[in-house]
Amino acid sequence: MLPSLQNPSADICLILEGTYPYDRGSVATGVHRMISAMPNLKFALFFIGTERRLAREKAFELPDNVTELTEIFLFDDEFAATELPKFAKRPPFRVFKPLLEKLRIVLNQPEDSDETINELSAELVKTAPGCDFDWFWKNPGTCKLLTEFYETRYSDESFQDYLLNLKSLLQPVWRLFQASPTLPPASCYHSFSTGYAGLIGAQACRFFGDSGFLISEHEISIRKRIMELLHAEWADLSINGISPLQTGVQPLRQLWIDFFIQTARLAYESADQIVSQFQKNADYQAEFGADPRNISVIPAGVSLRKMEAVRRARAERLRIQPDRKTVGFLGRINSSKNVKMLLYAARITADRLPGTRFLIAGSAEEDLEYYTECRSLRAELKLESVVKFIGPAEAEDVLPRFDVLALSGSSDHLPFPILGAFGAQIPVVATDIGACRELIEGRSDDDLGQAGRVVPIAKPELMADALVEILSDPGLKNRCGTIGRARAEACYTETAVIAEYRDLYDRLSGPIVAFP
């Protein structure tokens, strides 16, 4: 049983899977700014990672209103089970009977087992904290159930591969619930994804009956997870050289997809409120089981006060270098950002508009292999004098050097660099993914005009067309920048976003007691 909520240790508990405070991405940056902007609320952090040895140094100094940081690592071999009392690690096998009954139903009827998943989760909360996973895995009842499931559904697959996949799926879930007693009591739980974070958040609001549960998603977690699974090499390999994507989804891969769809539905159904950053992703949330009545759209926001200094610094640079033509990229250098497309566009742009330069700012440590490939492509395209990789950089430092921001990514989210560019009055050219069209062209009730250009994915020649058009026309460049700034002022201020989240916290938590 989870702790009592009689004396919550925090007003808000943030459930963070692989992000703040160890990551410097847009989600983590938004979390830090939100905590810092609400100094009268106490925040507890519940961080879910993979392995402790892979954990980085904290990327942020925790604000004073963070009361505690709890960490669990779901793929550690030396997990918290080693800290269980010795007598509790191996309970009698009979304690698993209710759990196995629920698991049997979920495994055999994945498409129609929502209520049973709730009951299974409740059994896990009762059982996992007092038991080592290996003891459950070796239980004769578990072995019998998994063998029956194999013979019914997966008899064409290798039994060894089947067991490996099922253990890899169940063990982190067991460890998540094993750590449930360490979840800080709070008046409201806020998860920034579905997945493991949404799963434990759903249980927190059930067992802390008076607590609210909020899910907000930068990009739709389940869509991202499905795409990763469809391209994963470890779940199952092609047979006779035939790709699973040519013959349909292989059974073991589908097992993982079904699991994450089920957990997403459980999280959505348990949430009191669900937030998306733009309407298209809100529609995706509804497709995966979220009640549209519980979904609201709250975009990311930009600090116009902070960007004002950037805007002035950029204007001064342009006064000194009025003919400057610099295209900038700001973001992580990885395959989802499709930097290679930008390099191809750079070659076309430089040929058509000599003197154009490209600055690529961002960290490469997440995918060094991709970064190496990008540098090789730069050499192959003879762009060494045109394109510079300048490494990680803060937006405030690098935006004054940009005349146009170019983003060539392929993931469904709201790119925060676009908001920074708007604040600095910089036009934007971006691929038609996520919220880019909504940002650049405006929502249906927005008649400000275009703050840049939107181009198709994987069409470098069209991106080059847009860059040449804006860079060649100072009047167009200025108009696009002015429209972007006006749109940020009207729709995307950090102050307004923080106020909306504060209202949500108040509504979901009841009256929140602030610091004395």
Q: Which two tokens stand for residue 350?
A: 């430089």
Q: What is the DSSP letter of 382?
A: T
Maximum Cα–Cα distance across the chain: 79
- What was the pLDDT predicted at 105? 87
User: CB atoms < 10 A from the CB of 228, how many?
Assistant: 12
Nearest in space to 122 (alpha carbons), one of 147, 144, 103, 148: 103
Task: Give the three-class secondary structure for 212.
Answer: strand
Q: Which two tokens stand for residue 473?
A: 């026309």
User: CB atoms < 10 A from the CB of 280, how many?
Assistant: 17
Q: Which two tokens stand for residue 462?
A: 């069209």
- Cβ(412)–Cβ(281) below 8 Å: yes
- Cβ(466)–Cβ(436) below 8 Å: no
126 class by beta-carbon count within 10 Å (0-12 exposed, 13-18 middle, 19+ buried): middle
Task: Tell me the β-bridge partners of 358.
Answer: 327, 387
Which residues have CB under 8 Å from 189's CB, separation 6+? 12, 13, 15, 201, 204, 205, 208, 211, 212, 213, 214
- Cβ(51)–Cβ(226) below 8 Å: no
CA distance 325 to 427: 12
To the question of pTM greater than 0.85 for the whole model, the response is: yes
CA distance 146 to 142: 6
Exposure string (b/e) for 382-420, b if CB count within 10 Å is 16 or more? Answer: ebeebbebeeebebbebbbbbbbbbbbbebbbbbbbbbb
At the top level of CATH, the class of 304-492 is: alpha beta
Task: Give the three-class secondary structure for 32.
Answer: helix
Nearest in space to 273 (alpha carbons), one of 217, 334, 333: 217
Number of H helices, E strands in the chain: 20, 13
Which residues of the chain form CATH 3.40.50.2000?
304-492
- Cβ(74)–Cβ(49) below 8 Å: yes
Q: Mark the ranges of the chain whose per-residue pLDDT is less than 50.
A: 1-5, 80-87, 234-247, 511-516
Q: Which two tokens stand for residue 89?
A: 């690690």
- Cβ(271)–Cβ(294) below 8 Å: yes
Which residues have CB under 8 Å from 442's CB, separation 6+? 448, 449, 450, 451, 487
- What was the pLDDT predicted at 235? 42
- What was the pLDDT predicted at 295? 98
Which residues have CB under 8 Å from 287's CB, separation 6+? none
CA distance 14 to 31: 9
Nearest in space to 184 (alpha carbons), one of 163, 204, 209, 156: 204
- What was the pLDDT predicted at 277? 96
CA distance 430 to 439: 10
CA distance 381 to 378: 5
- What was the pLDDT predicted at 78? 61
Q: Transcribe 484-510 into DSSP letters.
A: HHHHHHHH-BHHHHHHHHHHHHHHHHS
**Considering the domain 10-297 in this protein, what is its CATH number?**
3.40.50
Q: What is the pLDDT of residues 352-384, one digit of tens each?
A: 999 999 999 999 988 999 999 999 999 999 999
- What was the pLDDT predicted at 466? 98
- What was the pLDDT predicted at 79? 55
- What was the pLDDT predicted at 76? 81
- What was the pLDDT predicted at 209? 67
